[in-house]
Structure 1
Amino acid sequence: MSSTAASVDTDGKGEAPIKRVAAASLIGSVVEWYDFFLYGTIAGLVFATQFFPTSDPTTGALLAFTTFAAGFVTRPLGGVIFGHLGDKLGRKPMLVVTMMIMGGATFCMGLLPTYETIGIAAPILLVALRMLQGIGLGGEWGGAVLLCVEHAPDHQRGWFSAWPQLGVPIGLLLSTLSVRGLGFLGDEALVQWAWRIPFLASIVLVGIGLFIRLRIDEPPAFKKVVREDERAGIPAFEALVKHPKATFLGMGARMSESVTFNIYNAFLVAYVATLALAPKVILDALIVAAVVGFAVILGAGALSDRIGRRPVFALGAGIALVTAFPIMWLVDTKDPLLITVAVVVGWAFAACTMFGAEGAFFAELFPTRVRYSGMSTVYQLGVLPSGAVAPVIGTSLLAAYSGASWPIAVYVMAMAAITLVSLAFLPETRWRDLDTEEITDTRVKEAVR
């Protein structure tokens, strides 16, 4: 499709519609990831003492990160539930419901009594709300990306699918800035009460996100499936049975991106504390990484439209592989500037490069009738053995090896290797027609016309 055709297209793929869709997907994604990242940051700074005060510091950190992992455990459940409903009822209503679930859970976290007030009920309620966060995010991601992929001109699916992915660096930036700002109130205030403020404030973002998302339309590809009565009976089951290679290799490809994101974010927040450094050191580094990651995600999405999804994805995994040891060495110097460089390389360049390409890649692996369920399964099940347990594994490795950081680097490298092997066996999907599932030379000619 030429750029001229895209600008006047009347079937929903024109420039004006896709820009509105991209904006709606982005704002919703920002809300979801702000809430999710906020928990990870606060868990490393506050929850160990406020919700698990009877434990020694290492055990407290492990327990706090276990609750962090609880949100990942329920993400596949959200992916299955809302993937199924999204393939049956539509993408738009699922995005509204999942945002309300995530926003409501986050707001309630800000109201939670601590262990000192209600005892064991406090961590139990914390875990329950974290699990609701996971369900909301598990259902939201696939729908947000699909709105852009299925509305976008064929030769710009990578570019537009990168926009909802921007919710990650923006969400990280906003959550980190909010916690960083609370630092001016003092460490004691942060731990005692101020940590609640960003959780309660998230309700404002939810209101904005709902207002925007309610004004968008279903993508043409899904309308066609409904019109021709081709919706799958049980989409998730069909995705697994008829597309096992795409599903399981997709989960393998997910490993490095998920681990690098959470090792160089949530884990490092706690690790830097063990180096006797102030929290602002890692928080400032994450702010810089989030800003850089914004540009990297967009660049990776656009580049995937030119050279393919797999090469861009592999580039990010390759960066993660070769920089794992240098990154941990830089962190161990305790120099704030070098720590910032380390986080930017690992989080912004390695993880965000993969993240920028994966939205369109995972969507293009599946036909429209099971696309929401298929890509949600890949993304959310793939996070269980990777990002969900990354902070816990990192903390356990520190304890097992007397605080040495080299096992963390080995762990990151192993996950990068799994991703590269998985990518080698997956097809390139850049020129795949979302309706026919065919790849033709004509499409290549139209895209470069």
Structure 2
Amino acid sequence: MPCPPSPPGPSPDGSAAAISAADEVPRSRVVTASLIGTSIEFYDFYIYATAAVSVFPLIFFSGADDTAKLLASMATFGVAFIARPLGAVVFGHLGDRVGRKTTLIGSLLTMGIATFLIGLLPTYQQIGLWAPAMLTILRFFQGLGLGGEWSGAALLATEYAKEGKRAWAAMWPQLGAPIGFFLANGLFLLLVLGFDHDSTNPEMDGVFLTWVWRVPFLLSLVMVLVGLYVRVKLEETPVFQRALANDQRVSAPLGEVFRRNWWELILGTFVMYATYVLFYIMTTWILSYAIGKTGDGFLGVPYAEFLVLQLVGIVFFAAFIPVSGMLADRFGRRPVLLIVTGLMILFGLTFGWWLNPETMGTGADVDVPRMVMFLVIGMMLMGLTFGPMSAVLPELYPTNTRYTGSGIAYNVSSILGAALTPFIAAWLVTTFDVAYVGYYLAAASLLTLIALFLAPETKHADLHAVTSARERRTAR
């Protein structure tokens, strides 16, 4: 059970010195540690997402049905999202009991080692069913690591932030998503172009499918070592230092967060839900739809050409994350997110107009400006909705269960909004038409809109408190 809330200042038992030492950590070091870690984690995650669409169906799965192999590959992609809530529990317990710094190092190593080992895996042609089995296991550990990474990086940023600037400070780990995506897909693009790989007519015995695809996975080890160095040099956050000095930790953060913060878990999950659906529609699903064969109802765009268009969209994703941070600090989290989520509903309702093969064109006749505009609008909305989340979710929870609570909400939402999205979207296209993917996004955004209406404004939440925003509001 938690101790009673501490007084506003640090206790005289040594916490003042601890907090002072933490406050002296240069802001640039905090920014670098939160940004580089999430950049690496998302890089690892995205190289798998890219390979799951363009490589893994060819070398890890058997059969003559290309759609079935793509769906099987997407299923392994979804395994990580099942692992992420477990990672949130495991690393959340450590983060709330041991500290943010140590836990962030553990999550980084878990993710990085699993990614490196994927680059060493034998294929289905070499060892049969053992290949997809081992791929699935390593994908599980990727998800386990990422389940503890995001919430730790978000807490690192917010718990060091100045009052009134938390959304701006919290946007730095969010920038790791577009940076990781850009690095992962940019590297894949260079390799595809450099080795003349044609995704529409792949050579099974060519160098790209033989060994070149492994390079991005193997290179992740170098990035992990850099991230490890940065995080080892970091101090613990001043908020956790105070909680530690005042003996405000709880013995079982998981039980405590379910007992006292169950409503915040529900709200946080659905506040984040539409963001996940939008992102994985605009990255993983749209890639499979764009490069899929025209005979199967897809657009038939060469992989390398479409990847360039996606990278253009990612620039707008990155550019609008800082914009959302500034807006959320000035106007509050709820007003900004309510407006953006409403725009996401409208965007979803226009998918049929944007992406129908008759209007978009296929193969060499695809309407490139139209596709670029679609990607840019989607990614602008993604930046605006994603940016404030690393402030909103941690602010919902008290200090002694913040790592666990924010991590569970974020990662349970990943199951609902990300693990199923590429699979459901691919099924909707083949069963109905592309407009239904947009309807799916609009429905998810409506659920998020309802959650935002029910959620409290957390702009002025006290991060040192050991009661949730709801409990403090009820007490008043």
Match of 1:412 in 2: 441
Query: How do residues 261-276 of structure 1 correspond to structure 2 at under 5 angstroms?
Result: 261-274=279-292, 275-276=299-300
Helix, strand or coil for the counterpart of 2:414? coil
In structure 2, the CA distance between the partners of 1:162 and 1:250, relative to structure 1 (3 Å rule), is: same
Residue 113 in structure 1 maps to residue 145 in structure 2: no
1:361 is aligned to 392
Deviations 1:334-377 (A, max 9, x none): 3222212211211x222221110111110100010000001001
Are residues 1:241 and 2:259 paired? yes
State TM-score, norm by structure 2: 0.87
What secondary structure is seen at the aligned counterpart in 2 of 1:386?
helix
Distance 1:55 1:226, change over 3 A: farther
1:51-79 C-alpha deviation (Å, 9 max, x unpaired):
11324011011001000000111000000
Q: Which stretch of structure 1 is more off in the superposition, 135-144 or 179-188?
A: 179-188
- State the identity as a percent: 36
Distance 1:438 1:236, change over 3 A: closer
1:330 aligned residue (330, 354, 362)? 354
From the superposition, tell whether residues 367 and 55 of structure 1 become closer, same or farther in structure 2 (CA, over 3 Å): farther
**Which runs of 5 or more residues in structure 1 are unaligned?**
1-8, 440-449
- Residue 435 (structure 1) aligns with: 464
Q: Pick from 281, 298, 305 the counterpart of residue 322 of structure 2.
A: 298
In structure 1, C-alpha distance between the alignment counterparts of 2:88 and 2:399, rounded to whole Å:
16
1:131 pairs, out of 123, 132, 140, with 140
SS, match of residue 276 in structure 1:
coil
Aligned to 1:186: 196
Q: Which residue of 1 aligns with 2:27?
A: 18
CA contact (8 A) 2:355 2:434 kept: no
Indicate conservation of the 8 Å contact 1:48/1:64, yes or no. Answer: yes
**1:197, 1:325 → 2: CA distance?**
39
Does 1:42 find its partner at 2:51? yes
Q: What does 1:300-319 align with in structure 2 at a 5 Å threshold?
A: 300-319=324-343
Q: 2:92 matched to which residue of 1?
A: 83
Q: Residue 316 of structure 1 contacts residue 349 of structure 1 at CA under 8 Å; is this kept in 2?
A: no
Q: Aligned residue for 2:216?
A: 198
Tell me, yes or no, if the aligned pair for 2:60 and 2:124 is still in contact at 8 Å.
yes
How far residue 165 of structure 1 moved from its aligned partner, in angstroms, is 0.7
Q: Distance in 1 between matches of 2:352 and 2:113?
A: 37
Match of 1:351 in 2: 382
Of residues 190-199 and 131-140 in structure 1, the stretch that sits farther from structure 2 once superposed is 190-199
User: How far apart in 1 are the matches of 2:305 and 2:374?
Assistant: 12
* Deviation readout 1:266-323 (Å, 9 max, x if unpaired): 0111111221111123311221122111121111112111111112222332222111
Counterpart of 2:12 in structure 1 is none
The count of corresponding residues between Structure 1 and Structure 2 is: 427
Name which of 177, 193, 196 aligns with 1:168. Answer: 177
Name the amino acid aligned to 1:391: P
Distance 1:257 1:244 in 2: 21
Corresponding residue for residue 407 of structure 2: 376
Contact 1:165/1:359, CA 8 A, preserved across alignment = yes
Equivalent position to 2:268, from 215, 226, 250: 250
RMSD: 1.6
1:388 equivalenced with 2:419 (yes/no): yes
Question: Secondary structure of 1:154's match?
Answer: coil
Q: For residues 132 and 244 of structure 1, what CA distance do their matches in structure 2 show?
A: 27
Partner in structure 1 of residue 226 of structure 2 = 208
Q: What is the one-letter code of the residue matched to 1:222?
A: F
Partner of 2:14: none
> Given the alignment of the two structures, is residue 221 of structure 1 paired with residue 239 of structure 2, yes or no?
yes
The one-letter amino acid of 1:80's match is V
Aligned counterpart for 2:307 among listed residues 267, 283, 287 = 283
Residue 69, structure 1, aligned to residue 78, structure 2: yes
Indicate how the Cα distance of structure 1 residues 328 and 213 shifts in structure 2: closer, same or farther if over 3 A, else same: farther
How far is the alpha carbon of 1:154 from its aligned partner? 1.4
Structure with max Cα Rg: 2
**SS in structure 2 at match of 1:74:** helix
- Which of residues 131, 147, 158 in structure 2 aligns to 1:122? 131
Q: Which moved more, 1:65-74 or 1:182-191?
A: 182-191
In structure 2, distance between residues paired with 1:280 and 1:311: 39
Runs of 5+ unmatched residues, structure 2: 1-18, 198-202, 293-298, 361-365, 470-476
1:349 maps to a residue whose letter is M
SS in 2 for 1:155: coil
| Counterpart in the other structure of 1:4 | none
The answer as to 2:76 corresponding to 1:53 is no
> What is the letter of the counterpart of residue 371 of structure 1?
R
Q: Is the 8 A contact 1:313 1:358 kept in 2?
A: no
Report the Cα offset of residue 11 of structure 1.
5.8
Contact 1:314 1:423 in 2 (8 A): yes
Give the superposition deviation at 1:138.
Answer: 0.2
Report the CA distance between 1:330 and its aligned residue. 2.6
- Alignment deviations for residues 203-254 of structure 1 (CA, whole Å, 9 cap, x no partner): 1111110111111111111111111111012112211211122110111111
Distance 1:10 1:224 in 2: 10
Aligned residue for 2:372? Answer: 340
Cα–Cα, structure 1 residues 223 and 328, in superposed 2: closer, same or farther, change >3 Å? farther
Contact 1:50 1:114 in 2 (8 A): yes
Paired amino acid for 1:238: E
Question: What is the alpha-carbon distance in structure 1 between the residues aligned to residue 158 and residue 26 of structure 2?
Answer: 12
Report if the CA contact (8 A) 2:351-2:435 is conserved: no
Using the TM superposition, give the Cα deviation of residue 13 of structure 1 relative to its aligned residue in structure 2, in angstroms. Answer: 4.2
